[in-house]
Amino acid sequence: MDLKFTDEEIAFRNEVRSFIKSNLPPNIHRKMVEGVHLGKEDMVTWQRILNKKGWAVPNWPREWGGTDWTSVQNYIFLDEVQQFPAPSPLAFNVSMVGPVIATFGSEAQKKRFLARCANLDDWWCQGFSEPGSGSDLASLKTSAKLQGDHYIVNGQKIWTTFAQHADWIFALVRTDPAVKKQEGISFLLIDMKTPGVTVRPIQTIDGASEVNEVFFDDVKVPVENRVGQENKGWDYAKFLLGHERTGIARIGISKERVRRVKHLAAIEQSGGRPLIEDPRFREKVAAVEVDIKALEMTQLRVLANERRREKGKPDPASSILKIKGSEIQQATTELLMDVIGPYAMPSQPSLAEGWNEPPIGPEGAATVAPTYFNWRKVTIYGGSNEIQKNIIAKAILGL
């Protein structure tokens, strides 16, 4: 496989890089560099800038705002966004529900939702996991019973990221409890303002409240808000999760973080030499860089195969991206903790005075430990890494 970019692809990379540099609001860029959680308005602002340019949903059909970019151009775009760093377009809209509606939705659903989805006029969240139904997602119990032209939904979802911001939730619900568990699930689009929908925040170990519980108590959902056929939701979910797992690799984020690690490790600390001079530390950094390059090659192969695959069928190799990508992301946060050491302790900002120059500013240093703890989750969501290994064994190795 030739990993050299063509002259046209290099020119495209330069175009993307220049656009981000010229159009990303400085306050948003500063938050990204310092590892500060973005507010809803920050995400909306940037996605609308991208949408105005025509770059918010490049992997969608062109008639709904997509581009004719090649798989390599799509990769370059995301890589540049993550390395700058800038916010990635909201995944729930762009990489999850949008492609599902564009592929399996009715024409009325496409006209109603896709343009608003791309411009972030509607903020979507994902209603998949439930208490007791995480890795074994097909065992979900949230029910939807058909009554006339509505479904009546009852149940609970958990770990629902950004539900506190969401206007809509795309949810997997059980519409037929009498059949095999994978065959009785449907895919519903639910307005979060519907009576009976309750959102309860969950505070995570880093002090943030980005995940939530969502409760449905006799929620009425029009039948017209069901995507595709009844009891075929599991097929649509597998399609969606294939897109999600490809995105979870986040190679650009890992590259940017390693770059920051090497910069900070080169700074001389009071009472000791720069950490980058420690050969054991350099070995750890080099090992992560080798893994990133191998993962990048794998992602390019997966993207190159997408056009040859049957429509709606995810590539099982995306599970490899999910496993290794999430492990590398955790490894990079561990390297940052090695570099920052006691300066990562938010309760003792005075420790930062030992640096000849601020590592990433007092606020930036204080976010390293919370980021480390928060990113323990990446090997779990999107399908735990143990489940991904089962997928690889069955779909790729034939075991």
Read off φ and ψ for residue 156, nearest 5 degrees. -145, 140
Read off φ and ψ for residue 228, nearest 5 degrees. 65, -150
Residues 6+ apart with CB under 8 A from 300: 1, 3, 71, 72, 75
Cis peptide before 85 (omega within 30 of 0): yes
Report which of residues 286 and 136 the model is more confident about: 286
Residues 205-215: tens digit of each pLDDT:
777 788 999 99
According to the CATH classification, is domain 248-395 in 1.20.140.10? yes
Q: Residue 373 pLDDT > 80, yes or no?
A: yes
Model confidence band, residue 361 (pLDDT cutoffs 50, 70, 90):
very low
Element (H, E) at 304: helix 279-306
Q: For the chain, what are the domain ranges? A: 7-89, 124-230, 248-395
Query: What whole-number distance in Å separates Cα of residue 87 and Cα of residue 77?
Result: 12
Residues 234-266: tens digit of each pLDDT:
999 988 876 655 567 889 999 999 998 998 888
Residues 59-104: tens digit of each pLDDT:
899 999 999 898 889 889 999 999 999 999 999 999 999 999 999 9
Percent of the chain with pLDDT over 70: 88
Return the structure tokens found at 363: 């606020």
Model confidence band, residue 270 (pLDDT cutoffs 50, 70, 90):
low
pLDDT the model gives residue 205? 77
pLDDT the model gives residue 358? 42
CA 140 to chain centre: 22
Residues 6+ apart with CB under 8 A from 352: 343, 358, 359, 362, 365
- Alpha carbon distances (Å) from 54 to 36, 58, 88, 93, 210: 27, 8, 14, 15, 28
Query: Cβ of 3: how many Cβ atoms within 10 Å?
Result: 8
Report which of residues 382 and 394 the model is more confident about: 394
Q: Highest mean pLDDT: which of 3-12, 195-204, 351-360?
A: 195-204
pLDDT the model gives residue 207? 72
pLDDT the model gives residue 349? 44
Q: Residue 107 pLDDT > 60, yes or no?
A: yes
Query: What whole-number distance in Å separates Cα of residue 366 and Cα of residue 387?
Result: 34
Q: Residue 352 pLDDT > 80, yes or no?
A: no
The pLDDT of 372-389, averaged and rounded, is: 82
Fold agreement between 124-230 and 248-395: no
**Which one of 2.60.450.10, 3.20.20.70, 3.50.50.60, 2.40.110.10 gives the CATH number of domain 124-230?**
2.40.110.10
Report which of residues 161 and 315 the model is more confident about: 161
Report which of residues 303 and 366 the model is more confident about: 303
- Alpha carbon distances (Å) from 96 to 92, 114, 124, 179, 344: 5, 12, 9, 26, 34
